[in-house]
Amino acid sequence: MNDPTRVVVLISGRGSNLRSIIAAMQNGELPVLIAATISNNAHAPGLSHAHAAGIPTTIIDHRHFTGRAEFDQALIREIDRWRPDLVVLAGFMRILGTDFIRHYQGRLMNIHPSLLPALPGLDTHARAIREGHRQHGATVHFVTENVDAGPVILQVAVPVLPEDTAETLAARVLAEEHRLYPRAIRWFAEHRLAIRDGHVLLDGQPVQKCSQ
């Protein structure tokens, strides 16, 4: 049997996406091994999910470095110690530099709470309401050098309801994120994803035609 796909997950805070990935793994729905969870924040509540699952954790605190390049290099050294096939950003709220992103090209995934390319950046739920979007959602994508951009693997749309607040909308999107990320990671682990001309293929077909 092949060795399972080794994944390193990076978090900064709550870690509910990490929790959903761990749950999928434990349910036998996700054929991966989470080799380690790394956080830039020693107080990230999400670290408790890794601890509970017996997954090693490391802290690389960005405030201990003089600049982004030094932080990124320290992060690379720590990640590579775990020999990952895939690096998963799950609410990792630091902007990563070009060298970091090139180092993990094609094996670095992110989840973002919007229907990219709409609403990159922060406060996506409040902005979706304020700007009158009728649909909002979440996107899993491979990371490229532009923030919250890169070839889309999966997207899910959620309607914006007239009575929605940023909190109610965020909760509905988050519930979808928890389904989306394990699915995208599973496709990667099953070697079903490829990137061609800046677009993701699933089983050789453009994803938007076969990811419903």
Footprint on this chain of ligand GAR (rule: CB under 6 A): 11, 13-17, 46, 90-91, 111-113, 148, 174, 177
CB of 121 to ligand GAR, least distance (A): 7
Closest approach, Cβ 193 to ligand GAR, in A, equals 19
Kindly tell me which of 123 and 203 has the beta carbon lying closer to ligand GAR.
Answer: 123
Give 5 or 41: the residue with its C-beta nearer to ligand GAR: 41
Contact 125, 112 (CB under 8 A): no
Q: From CA 18, how far away is CA 15, in angstroms rounded? A: 5
Q: Which of 103, 112, 125, 133 is catalytic?
A: 112
Longest pairwise C-alpha distance within the chain: 52
- Is 103 tagged catalytic? no
Cβ 112 to ligand GAR shortest distance, Å: 5
- The terminus-to-terminus CA distance of the chain in angstroms comes to 30
> For ligand GAR, which is the closer residue by CB, 166 or 201?
166
Alpha helices of the chain — where are they, by DSSP H?
16-26, 47-52, 68-81, 98-103, 124-130, 166-189
**CB of residue 208 to ligand GAR, shortest distance in Å:** 20
Q: Which is nearer to ligand GAR, 69 or 95 (CB)?
A: 95
Among 211, 212, 119, residue whose Cα is nearest residue 170:
119
DSSP code at position 179: H
* Per-residue CA distances from 33 to 5, 53, 123, 143, 189 (Å): 6, 11, 32, 21, 10
Instruction: Give catalytic residues, as residue numbers.
Output: 112
